[in-house]
Amino acid sequence: MRAVLDTNVIVSAVLVRRGNENHVLSAWRSGAFDLILSPQLLEELGRVLSYAKIRDARWMTEAEVFELLGILAEESILVAGQLVVRASRDPTDDKFLAAAIEADADYLVTGDKDLLTLEAYRRVRIVTPAAFRRLLQAR
């Protein structure tokens, strides 16, 4: 199974240790699914995780965040990020759909209502972290 995790999912994982998002990220680290990323998604994630308000609220140390970014870059499936998609009512979210289509992903996991309202795009199901966690547990 292949999935794209929206930036908000990974950021929430470093903010809430016992939340659905951290369980999803831990499931990836233990091999439950293949994580899809693109250069644009990695860049956004690095930028957002360095925001002062995120840095001050997270449970991970700076070293742990740096290590996580390295693991994400090395162990995910990295697509080129060259596909252009225009489907979300928020154009800044289209890069997640593009990565999912480019990698033939099964799921896009997000907390973003602009994406969740789509429910699916082409053959990619768009689900919340809680729903994805349930899917993983059912396997």
CB 41 within 8 A of CB 80: no
pTM of the shown model: 0.95
Q: Domain boundaries in the chain?
A: 2-138
Query: How large is the average pLDDT for residues 50-61?
Result: 91
Instruction: Give me the pLDDT at residue 139, please.
Output: 85
Strand pairing class (124-127; 120-121): antiparallel
Q: What is the pLDDT of residues 56-106, one digit of tens each?
A: 998 888 899 999 999 999 999 999 988 889 999 999 999 999 999 999 999
Residue 56 CA to residue 41 CA, distance in Å, equals 22
Is 90 exceeded by the pLDDT of residue 34?
yes
Q: Which CATH class is domain 2-138?
A: alpha beta
